[in-house]
Amino acid sequence: MPLRRGTVELSPATVARRLELPDQLTRWLDSLEPVGPPPDEVPMPRGQAALEQLGRLGVVEPDLTAIAQALPTPEQQPELWWLLERAYHQVRLDIGRWDAATWLPSLPAHLGLLGRSFWVFVFLAAAEEMHAWHTRMGIGDDVSWDTLADLGRHIARFRRRNDTTGLDSQFWIGLHFRGALYALGRLQFNPYRLRMGMAGPLFWYEGAAASALGPGFQVGDGALGVHIPAGGALSPAACDESFAMAGRFFRRHFPAHDFAVATCTSWLLDDQLAEYLRPTTNIVQFQKRFQLVPGVREDDRGTFEFVFDRVPESLDDLAPRTQLERVLVRHVQAGGHWRLRTGWLRL
Ligand SMILES: CC(C)(COP(=O)(O)OP(=O)(O)OC[C@H]1O[C@@H](n2cnc3c(N)ncnc32)[C@H](O)[C@@H]1OP(=O)(O)O)[C@@H](O)C(=O)NCCC(=O)NCCS
C-alpha cells in the first residue's frame, strides 16, 4: 500500500504542472481523476516477466529491451504513475465496450522515451486482463495473442517512421484492448454498426440507394470492418481463409451482432491502382472482392505513409524500389492523386 499512497496525494493540476503537460491535456486529466486508480495494484510485469509478455505482444528488439528497462515505478516517476494507473484502470473498464470512445492522447515530446512509451506500458499492464476476457468469451489463445500482438507491429512501425522506440497509434491498439478488433488469419475484423460511430464507413449509401440494397445495408445494421495489417503477402488464399474465419468467429462468439456485409476503407481499394498494377497482383485481386461505394477522398499523404512509411517533402526524395512504389510516384508526377475508397462484400 505505501506505493499507492504516494500517488493519492497528487492532484491533476500538480501532475500537469510537474510534467509540464500542455493545456490540451487538461480535459484528459480531468477525466482520469474520477476514474481513479484500480482497486488493486497495477499488474505491471517486470524483469523477465515483462520481456516475456512484451514478446507475446509482438514487441521485438531493440524496442523490447528499451521498453522493459524504461518501465516506470510509483517511486521513481510518481506523476507519470498517477497517469498510468488511471489510464490503465480506464482501459480495463472499457474492456468489452466496443463503442467506448475514450481519448488516449499522446504525451508531449519532452517526456522522452517514458512519454512515447506511455501507452505501451498501459497496454502491457492490461494484457493479461484482456487475454482473460478473451478466454471468458471462449476465444482461443491463438486468436487472442495474435490480436494483441498488433501492438508490436505498431511499435515497429513507429521505429521505421521515427527511428526510435515509441507508439503513436494507441487509438488503434485501444480497439484490440477493449475486444473490438480481432486478428483472424491474414486480416483483422472489427464488429460495428453502419454509420453509428467512428467506424463509419467513410462512404455509405443513402436514401433510395440504401433502401434498394435491403437488410444489412441500413444505418445501424451490424457489419464487420476489414483491416489489412502490414506483413506478409496478401495472398487470395489467405484472404479466403480470413473471411471464412470471420463469418464463423463472430457468429460463434458474438451471436448478438448480426451482420450481412464486411466493409473496408483503404488506399488499397483505390481503383486507380488497377490501371497500373497487373491483374494478378494481390492488391488487384483483393480489390476485386469488393463492390465500391460511390465517393472518393484524395489522400496522397496517407497512401505514401502506408507504402513509404513517410510523407516526402518532394517526390525526388524517394527512391522507389517496388512496382507499387514506382506507380505511386508516377501517378502523382502525372498530376494525379491517390484516394481512399470504401468497398463491401457479402459474408
Ligand atoms: C497489403 C500488402 C500486404 C500487399 O502486399 P503484396 O501482397 O505484396 O501486394 P502485391 O502482390 O499486390 O504487390 C504488387 C507490387 O507492389 C509491391 N508492394 C505491395 N505492397 C507494398 C508496400 N506496402 N510497400 C512497397 N511495395 C509494396 C510489391 O512488392 C509488388 O511489387 P514487385 O513486384 O516490384 O515486388 C502491403 O501493401 C502492405 O503490407 N501494406 C501495409 C498495410 C496497409 O497499407 N494496410 C491498409 C491500411 S488502410
| Structural domains of the chain, with CATH | 2-180 (no CATH), 184-346 (3.40.630.120)
Confidence of residue 8 (pLDDT cuts 50, 70, 90): low
Averaged over 310-325, what is the pLDDT? 92
Q: Is the CB of residue 165 below 6 angstroms from any atom belonging to ligand 1?
A: no
Q: Which atom of ligand 1 is nearest to the CA of 231?
A: 39
C-alpha grid cell for residue 57? 505482444
Residue 187, strand partner residues: 184
Average pLDDT, the chain: 95
| Distance (Å) of CA 231 to CA 91, 157, 198, 214 | 27, 11, 25, 36
286 CA: nearest ligand 1 atom: 12
Mean pLDDT to the nearest integer, 179-198: 96
Torsion on CA atoms 171, 172, 174, 178, rounded to nearest 10: 140
Q: Give the strand pairing for 291-292 and 339-346.
A: antiparallel
Q: Is any ligand 1 atom within 6 A of the Cβ of residue 198?
A: no
pLDDT over 50 at 11, yes or no: yes
**pLDDT value for 3:** 46
Distant-in-sequence, close-in-space partners of 92: CB < 8 Å, separation ≥ 6? 38, 126, 129
C-alpha cell at 5: 499512497
Residue of 283, 306, 325 to mutate, ligand 1, most atoms within 8 A of C-beta: 283
Distance between CA 260 and CA 245 in Å, rounded?
15
What pLDDT is attached to residue 213?
Answer: 97
Please state the pTM of the whole predicted model. Answer: 0.95
The rounded Å distance from CA 30 to ligand 1 centre is: 43
Distance CA(53)–CA(322), nearest Å, equals: 35
Report CA dihedral (135, 141, 143, 146) to the nearest 10 degrees.
120
